[in-house]
Every structure is written in structure tokens, then in C-alpha cells.
Structure 1
């Protein structure tokens, strides 16, 4: 941390956090195995153990560019990750054209105009973008897969096995083999040929899970599995020093002990909470208000603690 640098710049930016990520030998070996075997890396661990940050760290270390992120909920389907098609928006545009230029609409309805506009209404999702042909692997985080519908892990298997998918709306366009579509990258476009997307370099996929449910055996066999343990006092000290400097570690022993004690008592605490509490303790002045705020920051995240 440099003097005067905002808290958000130090603790919350993915790139800043990735730069000071503290990996161990097991993590390095699991990442290398996933890259060499072209398999997803299934990372489990409690909140705050650095599951998503690992992906940003690998992207930074290997120069793999912007990380794609797919947040998973119970309503998400495989298609959401691959692409979206705004059919309603396209129909509305067709209706607008019909009202101002009936002849043009007739051409559109017969298919002659279809070639020029469908790509405007198609956008690749994070998984679909990660599977585009590229010189180097893209990095994709499928975040909190354990919150998904029960079928999603198995639905992902075919895509992981083949490294490809098709867009039926484009496959039907026999008159136009190549269509430009939007991607998940800001301002990004890609050429899709005959509706097929095939990766040239399999992406580095990090699937995160908080361990809230079990996954099907077939899915687990396809993944390289890595469990990130909660950091001990030595690793916490390294993390604090990496984020906040040596001065912080010299002044943070009591807070680290408090953090570990509350965690040992069954409290669910994340490393972010400790970093924020230490950051506040390094400010000018002390006093009751600051102590109470630090106490609030170290409150357990879950019930029953």
C-alpha cells in the first residue's frame, strides 16, 4: 500500500488483489495440472479464502488478459453462459421498419435482410466468449456453481469435453456463413462462421464453490479439484504484509489473534474482514469509536456463531 492510496484501490480491485495473492505449492500444482490437461479447476473453500482471486492471479502472472466472470444463481442455464439472443428486440425493430418502409419489411420477412442485422441482437456470454478462437487461453470464473440448478454441472460437461458449441439462430442462415456478434468483453465483436464456436486454446476455467452441495461424480471426474484451507497465522501475516506493508504486520498481531480466536470458536470470517479492520487500525488516532468499528468488522458472517 502506498501512502494516501484509497482503501478500495488496495483491497477491492481484482488486479491489485491478484498481484499480492499468496499461493502455496498445492495451488501451483493444481493450476499447472488444469492448464496442461485442459480441465476446469474446481476450487472449494469458505468465503474469503481467495477462490476467485486465484483466477485473477493466474491471468496476471501468465499475461492472459481480462478475466471473464459468470456469476451463477439458481435461475442460470447453460445457454445464459454461452450466448443470449434478443428475439423480442429484433421483432420490434422489424415492426418499426414495416411501419416506415413496407417494401423493406417485405424483404426482411423473406430473409434477404436477415443477413445484415441478426448479429446486433446476439451477444456471447462469458463462457461463449472464453471459447472463441484465441492465441492464448482466456481465463473464466464460474462463480459459486453450488448455487446453480441441479442440472447445470452436467450440462457443462459436453462443452468442457468438446471445447465448442453452436448457435442455432446462426446455423439456419445458409445464405450468410459469417456473422459478427457482440462478445462479453466491453465493446468486443467476434466473427462466427456457420454458427459454430470452437476454441483453439482451451480456456483456464476456475469453478468456485462454497461447499454448500455435492456435485455429480461425472462432473468431478472432469475437474481438477483444489480445496483452499482457511489461512493460518503465518499465511495471514504474509497476506497482511503483501496488502498493507511491513508496518501493518508489526501493529496487527492482536487483531490477527482476535480473528483466529473468533474463527476457532466457529465464526465464519473472511480475510477481507481482517484486512479492513487492520487498515482502520493504522489510521490516525484510536479511541472507542474506532475500536467499536473494528469489532463490527470482525463479526461472523454466518448464523450459529
Structure 2
């Protein structure tokens, strides 16, 4: 690898050059966009800087604010529907940050997700393996059984239902990707605010209190008689891309919110919140281009942010290639009528 000390000049923005000659330019990467910072954490709940940026730069409208408050006051889940990239999940981070409720408990939904996976996981094989190791050498009758609490980890939903002085914020992301049964399976948990861990209920009375692990990596928490019952119902935000209909019984237990595409004024405010007033002042034409493209096919707001960052940052591409790069960044997610 060469040790040549190259100087970055105006327009010399490339890290990768494609000439198969090793170099050290990657060591001079400029800082990432604010929403793409991962390593550092703040001092108020372990948020990544990227999550903190998302939380503080979110700009909801009045109707959205009212629906969030209705869900909080009614202790009902908020079902948030909107196109990809419309800020559905970011709303959860904004609520948690403003209300000082710590990190968001995130539950990503797939077609294989079950209710139990959101409540807790029991590593029976790991516990059996430790039992076997303890019993090696003929000590099976005298060895203490392994602590079952080290093999039970609450899922995001289970952690959100732990009793506490304040509610937690739970983000159930893309519920429309779930199997057909999951929305109905959630109903009883939402209504009762409690669930049981059957493996703990089978233990003898002298083991009625077991300390288990949580989804957010915090200290182990006590569970009595295998039952968890919330003291304050969590603030639950459920996102959907609108790809399926949910059962009426599920819908009537939710406060429903549809996030509309942001207007020109809101887009400008979002750009300023993420990148500052100078970037907003320089982004008028990009916003117009974004709106024109969005009228022809779906675009996400973060695509506009990516374009503005590339066009206004100190490491911007040269004018000769900028237009082509921005065209790539602002390519539609889907065309009209696609679904």
C-alpha cells in the first residue's frame, strides 16, 4: 500500500478511484451525514447519534400531534400508515426523546414473526448444555441447577410491558409484513397489559422470583410467579406501508394515523433541521426537482436529504458528474400504479 500523502483538492471527492492501485484515501473520509452516525452514544439513554438526529429533526404537523396525544391519553396503540420513507418510524424516536422516555424498543416484523418472539425467548438448549456440563464427572445429583433467568430474554413487547413509573415507547415496525394471525394475537396483550412466562410458572415456590434479561440490554429484572403485568401501558406505535387490511377487531383498538407526503414548506423545514439554514437556502431547486419527480412516482424524504447533502457538503462531487449522481439518488422507489 502506498504511503503517498495525497492532498484532496476541490472536486477531488472520490475515495474509491477504480484504478486498482492501493492507497489510504479511506482514512480521510469526511464526517457522515448526521443521520448516518452509528458509533457514538449520548448520555441520556444510550441512543446512537443517528437515532438522536432523527428524533430532534422530526417536524410533525398539528393533526399528527393531536392523534399522538389521543393515543397516549387513551392508552391505545397508534397505527401509523404511510409510504416508505414518510417518517413513520422516526415519529417513535421523536416521541421518546421529547417525553424523556429513554431508548425506543424496536420490534421489526417479518412473515415469520410470532407473538411469543415479541414477548420473550427461552434458550432451552443453552440451559440443557450447562446442565450437562455441571453433571459431568458424576456431579449431577449435587450440582446446583443453572439459573434459568440467564436463559430467558424478554422481547421488545415483553420489555415494554415491564412495570415502571413511566411508560416505554415501543415501535412495532411494518406490521403489514406479518402472518395473518399476528394482529389478532396482539389483541389480548393490548387489552390485558400482561403475559405469562410458562417456563417460570412451572418452577417450585421457592423459585417464585426469577431475574430475567431484557431486550434493551439493561440490568436483569425480577419476575414473580412467571407473570409480567404493566403498571403504565407503553406508548405503542405500529407502522404499516398500507400493503394489507387489518381485522376490524384490531383496528378498533388502535388510534389510526395516515402520514401524508410533506409539502414544499415542510420539506424545507426538514432540510434545515438536518443540515442547517445554509443547506436550506441552497436547496430550493433540489426541492422543486424532488416534488416534480415525486408526482411521477414514489420518493422518500431521506432521498431529498441525501441529494442536498451531496450537493452542499464540502466533499461534493464536481459539477460535471453531480447531475448524474443526483439523478441516481432521486430515482423513484416505484412508479404510479405499482403496488
- Give ranges in structure 2 of 5+ residues lacking alignment: 1-28, 38-49
> Is the CA contact (8 Å cut-off) linking 2:34 and 2:274 kept in structure 1?
no
TM-score, normalising length from structure 2? 0.83
Q: CA deviation at 1:133?
A: 0.7
Select 1:106's aligned residue among 141, 147, 164: 141
Equivalent in the alignment of 1:196: 227
Matches of residues 1-305 of structure 1 in structure 2 within 5 Å? Answer: 6-10=31-35, 13-100=50-137, 102-103=138-139, 105-107=140-142, 113-114=144-145, 117-175=147-205, 176-265=207-296, 267-284=297-314, 286-302=318-334
- After superposition, the Cα gap between the structure-2 partners of 1:297 and 1:120, relative to the gap in structure 1 and judged at 3 Å, is same
- State how far apart, in whole Å, the 2-side matches of 1:165 and 1:52 are: 26
Local SS of the residue matching 2:141 = helix
User: Secondary structure at 1:66's aligned position in 2?
Assistant: coil
Moved over 6 A (4+): none
Residues 11, 17 of structure 1: 8 Å contact kept? no
CA displacement, residues 113-146 of structure 1 (integer Å, 9 cap, x when unaligned)? 44x5111110000000000011100000000000
Q: Deviations over 1:31-87 (max 9, x none)?
A: 111111110000000011111110110111111111100000000000000000001
Task: Tell me which residue corresponds to 2:22.
Answer: none
CA contact (8 A) 1:27 1:226 kept: yes
222-231 or 184-193: bigger deviation: 184-193
Q: Is the 8 A contact 2:80 2:88 kept in 1?
A: yes
Specify the SS of the correspondent of 2:285: helix
Note the C-alpha offset of 1:106: 2.7
Measured against aligned partners, the alpha-carbon deviations of 1:225-259 in whole angstroms (never above 9, x if no partner) come to: 00000111111111111111121122111111111
Bigger mean CA deviation after superposition, 183-192 or 134-143:
183-192
Aligned mates of 2:218, 2:256 — CA distance in 1:
34
CA contact (8 A) 1:273 1:298 kept: yes
Alpha-carbon offset, residue 11 of structure 1: 5.3
Shift of 1:303: 5.5
Higher RCO, 1 or 2 (CA under 8 Å, sep at least 6)?
1
Deviations 1:195-223 (A, max 9, x none): 00001010000000000101000000000
Distance 1:5 1:40 in 2: 41
SS in 2 for 1:207: strand
Structure-2 change in CA distance of 1:165 and 1:39 (3 Å): same
**Distance in 1 separating the partners of 2:215 and 2:35:** 26
Change (3 A) 1:240 1:233: same
How many residue pairs match? The answer is 294
- Cα 1:5–1:137 change in 2 (3 A) is farther
Deviation of residue 290 (structure 1)?
Answer: 2.2
Please tell me the root mean square deviation across aligned C-alpha atoms, in Å.
1.7
Contact 2:77 2:255 in 1 (8 A): yes
User: How far apart in 1 are the matches of 2:232 and 2:301?
Assistant: 34
Shift of 1:169: 0.2
State how far apart, in whole Å, the 1-side matches of 2:268 and 2:141 are.
70
Contact 2:161/2:234 (<8 A) preserved: yes
